Amino acid sequence: MARVKHAVVAGGAGFIGSHLCDRLLADGCRVTAVDNLVTGRPANIAHLRGQRRFRFLRHDIARPLRLAGPVDRIFNLASPASPVDFPRIPVEILLAGSYGSRNLLDLAVRTKARYLLASTSEVYGDPLVHPQTEAYWGNVNPVGPRSCYDESKRFAEAITMAYHRARSADVRIVRIFNTYGPRMRLDDGRVVPALVDQALRGLPLTVFGSGRQTRSFCYVTDLVDGICRLMESDAAGPVNIGNPSEMPIIEFARAIKRITGASSAIVFQPLPADDPKQRRPDIRKARRLLGWRPRVAFERGIRTTIDWFATEGQR
């Protein structure tokens, strides 16, 4: 990112966004993090406050955004992303994906900045093609409990391409698969913080359904590297970024028990509606176009994450 002067990170106080801010600052960029803190936390960026090249702006991207001076890159990560948020704030999620995307795309056109949308593997819904390639159009229930998120991101992809085709916006789309690491919220409800928290507190580990459904977990620094490579590439996308090593959720629960040494029982609870049965990224496009592949093995990444939750994360 050495040539980039000023980057805007919408969602910069969130889990992934704060790691992206770290990376951009380390690369020498000036960074403006824009966030309304609906799911993000000031603690994620507390270490950046006071840095000369870092600025935080509390702002809801569903409202128009004006910034003084030139902008080179806009990373749009601003959206709640956890299934626990879907019944809680579905309208806000849809407004972030729709009005929010439009407002940041308008900023990109005005400032001639390059724009990157953080999309998701959820655009594939409960996929009928496995592993998922970017050419797959998905299997999404448009009225189900996950639709506020899935359709918000599908709309966000569509408006990104519309601005690209009709308004000459310079755009990139990354489809992010399940990502984990330090700074996830303990109460965020996603399987990594939920089970790590339960194991650390000696509580039963809650596995939804049979636990045979699969996910593929990518460590956050690998993801951030993929995002930066895509931003600086010539590929508009969409490009999948994720770790293709796939595991059933029951195996994930057993790994957490083993690594933490917890004596917790594993208990089975009902599977939420429309929970995808399998998910694994096909990353051939990322390898070919970006020279990207994940570097952090699950065992190493999850140990770092557990250590963080055991210390910082409990505060």
Assess 196 for contact with ligand UDP (CB under 6 A): no
If contact means CB under 5 to 8 A according to the sort of partner, which of ligand NAD, ligand UDP, none does residue 83 touch?
A: ligand UDP
SS3 126: coil
Separation CA 207–CA 271 (nearest Å) = 8
User: Which residues in 270-289 contact ligand UDP (CB under 6 A)?
Assistant: 271-272, 275
Nearer to ligand NAD, 160 or 179 (CB): 179
Among residues 25, 62, 107, 207, which is the contact residue for ligand UDP, using CB under 6 A? Answer: 207
Separation CA 263–CA 278 (nearest Å) = 28
If contact means CB under 5 to 8 A according to the sort of partner, which of ligand NAD, ligand UDP, none does residue 215 touch?
A: ligand UDP
CA distances from 230 to 6, 100, 146, 171, 265 (A): 17, 21, 27, 10, 42
- Dihedral sign (CA 66, 69, 75, 78): negative
Residues that bind ligand NAD (CB under 6 A): 10-11, 13-17, 35-40, 60-62, 77-81, 96, 100, 118, 120, 176, 178-179
Chain-centroid distance, C-alpha 302: 17
If contact means CB under 5 to 8 A according to the sort of partner, which of ligand UDP, ligand NAD, none does residue 17 touch?
A: ligand NAD
**DSSP per-residue letters across 50-109:** T-TTEEEEE--TTS----SS---EEEE--S--STTHHHHSHHHHHHIIIIIHHHHHHHHH
Separation CA 110–CA 14 (nearest Å) = 26
Nearer to ligand UDP, 8 or 148 (CB): 148
Q: 205-208 and 246-248 as β-strands: parallel, antiparallel, unpaired? A: unpaired
For residue 98, give both structure tokens: 């729709």
Separation CA 295–CA 222 (nearest Å) = 6
If contact means CB under 5 to 8 A according to the sort of partner, which of ligand NAD, ligand UDP, none does residue 237 touch?
A: none
From 91-99, 166-174, 202-210, 226-234, span contacting ligand UDP (CB under 6 A): 202-210
Q: Is residue 149 flagged as an active site residue?
A: yes
If contact means CB under 5 to 8 A according to the sort of partner, which of ligand NAD, ligand UDP, none does residue 36 touch?
A: ligand NAD
If contact means CB under 5 to 8 A according to the sort of partner, which of ligand UDP, ligand NAD, none does residue 231 touch?
A: none
Q: 286: Cβ–Cβ under 8 A, 6 or more apart, which residues?
A: 226, 230, 239, 240, 241, 292, 293
> Is the CB of residue 106 less than 8 Å from the CB of residue 99?
no
Separation CA 31–CA 21 (nearest Å) = 7
Nearer to ligand NAD, 216 or 260 (CB): 216
Nearer to ligand UDP, 248 or 308 (CB): 248
Catalytic position from the list 124, 149, 180, 219: 149
Nearer to ligand NAD, 58 or 288 (CB): 58
Nearer to ligand NAD, 80 or 211 (CB): 80
Chain positions contacting ligand UDP, by CB under 6 A: 83, 178, 190-191, 194, 206-208, 213, 215, 249, 271-272, 275
Active site residues: 149
